[in-house]
A = this chain, B = another copy of it.
Amino acid sequence: MLFLSDNAASVHPLVWEAMRAADAPDTPYDGDALSAALDERFAELFGRDCAVLWAATGTAANCLALSCMVQPHGGVVCHREAHIEMDEGGAPGFYLHGAKLLLADGAGAKLSPETIRDVIDPIRDDVHQVQPHAISITQASEYGRAYRPDEVAAIAALAKDRGLGLHMDGARFANAAAFLGLSASEAAGPVDALSFGCIKNGAMSAEAIVLFDPAMADVARYRRKRAGHLQSKGRYLAAQLHAMLNGDLWLANARHANAAAAEIAGACEGRLMHPAEANELFVRCTADEREALRARGFAFYDWGDDAARFVTAWNTRDSDARALAEAIASL
């Protein structure tokens, strides 16, 4: 019973189906009909104009989006536990040509105008210090916390006031929207660019870079090619994105994963390090308890010495979630 991560889950049958349906040759790269339809498709979803590019990883999606906002001599404010800081092998340094991540604090790996200001206000406006060019937030955060619309709006207002771009890493955007019970548009808020995650949510190898300023897309397209991310058979990636939007599969999958997480969370009273708002649970438990759970067939990662991380996915079986909940309750 796997609760290791959603990042290696199987591909959803409807995604497979869409990929197979894309098998007939079409124009290479992003010249195919499916790729060409993405802008409109996502514009409908978000209720505003956007340009959409596929990319094979969240790391590439995040970095390409940021490369439209940040010059090499600038910086990106992000949480000190943000994925771009902790888990992308220095990709922002590569894609942004040495631009700097400016690390801010905040409970649950969420930023706020206050913690952003704590970082940027002390920066003197002179050439000796790297100036912020953008802010990046993660929805849901690295600890599974969802930004509320007013929270995103407040950060966006600060960004606008300071002339900074605003990027949202949405590797688990669907889980946040599902938890909040909000539309895609409401869950994203007035960000300039969104990495709309699909791979953790049932796709195989396609994330959507959603650029709400279509002018940014010109840069992003050149940078994507230059980064070796313009696949010649791009239609198979576009097909995955379409499959995720069709019938709101993205939301259905996320709701399933969230529900499984919620069921487990119900058994974790007093143990949760962070409120369960998406599909990740950070659960205090001893080494003995973790051993006991593993003995009963549950696979998961330790989280430091005193906790475990459980992640549910679109395909987590209800019975597995129930079993884990019961096992934790019985510890």
Contacts and interface: CB of A to CB of B under 8 A. Distances in A.
A71 B219 contact: yes
Contact of A99 (B28, B93, B128, B219): B93
Q: How many copies does the complex hold?
A: 4
A10 interface: yes
Given A56-B56, A127-B230, A199-B233, A5 B28 contact: yes
Interface centre among A59, A87, A219 (most CB of B within 10 A): A59
Interface string A2-31: 101101111100001000100111111100
B127 A222 contact: yes
Interface in A242-279: none
B25 A55 contact: no
Interface in A90-135: 90-100, 127-131
Given A26-B8, A57-B231, A232-B8, A226 B100 contact: no
A226 B91 CA distance: 4
A89 interface: yes
Contacts of A127: 29, 89, 221-222, 224-226, 230
B25 A2 contact: yes
Interface magnitude class on chain A: 35 or more
A86 interface: yes
Contacts of A230: 57, 59, 89, 127
B228 A59 contact: yes
Contacts of A97: 72, 93-94, 97-98
Contacts of A199: 231-233
A95 B97 CA distance: 10
Of all A-B residue pairs in the complex, the 6 with the closest CB atoms, nearest first, are A93-B98, A60-B228, A89-B225, A59-B228, A8-B28, A127-B225
